Amino acid sequence: MRKARTSAMGSSGARLPRRELCAGALAMLLPRVAFGEEPEKAPSTASRSELKSETEGRDRSVAENYTVPVEGTDLVIAGATIGVNAPLADVKRVLLAFHRYKDILPRLQQSRVVAETDGATDVYMRAPIMNGLAAIWGVVRFTPLTPWRKRGFQLAGARVSGNVEKWTGKWMAFPCGDKRTLLKLELFCEVGLPLPTRVVTKWLLWACNKSVTAVRDMAECGSSSVAKD
Give the Cα separation of 104 and 115 in Å (integer).
20
> For residue 139, what are the CA distances in angstroms to 2, 89, 229?
8, 26, 24
If you average pLDDT over every residue of the chain, what do you get?
79
Worst-scoring range by mean pLDDT, 35-39, 78-82, 149-153? 35-39
7-45 pLDDT, tens digit per residue, is 344 434 444 555 554 544 444 444 333 323 334 444 555
Q: What is the 3-state secondary structure (H, E, C) of the chain?
A: CCCCCCCEECCCCCEECHHHHHHHHHHHHCCCHHHCCCCCCCCCCCEHHHHCCCCCCCCCCCCEEEEEECCCCCCEEEEEEEEECCCHHHHHHHHCCHHHHHHCCCCCCEEEEEEEECCEEEEEEEEEEHHHCEEEEEEEEECCCEEECCCEEEEEEEEEEECCCEEEEEEEEEECCCCCEEEEEEEEEECCCCCCHHHHHHHHHHHHHHHHHHHHHHHHHCCCCHHHC
- Write down the CATH superfamily of domain 14-228: START domain (3.30.530.20)
Residue 153 has pLDDT above 90, yes or no: yes
Mean pLDDT, range 87-114, rounded to an integer = 95
Q: Please tell me the predicted confidence (pLDDT) of residue 1.
A: 42
Residue 3: its pLDDT value, please?
36
Mean pLDDT score, 170-185: 96
pLDDT value at residue 68: 95
* Mean pLDDT of all residues in 60-73: 91
Strands 134-142 and 110-117 come out as unpaired
* Span 196-227, pLDDT tens digits: 888 888 989 999 999 999 999 999 999 887 75
The 10s digit of each residue's pLDDT in 122-139 is 999 998 876 777 777 899
Q: Check residue 198 and give its pLDDT.
A: 84
pLDDT digits (tens, 9 = 90+) for 154-170: 999 999 998 888 899 99
Ranges of each domain in the chain: 14-228
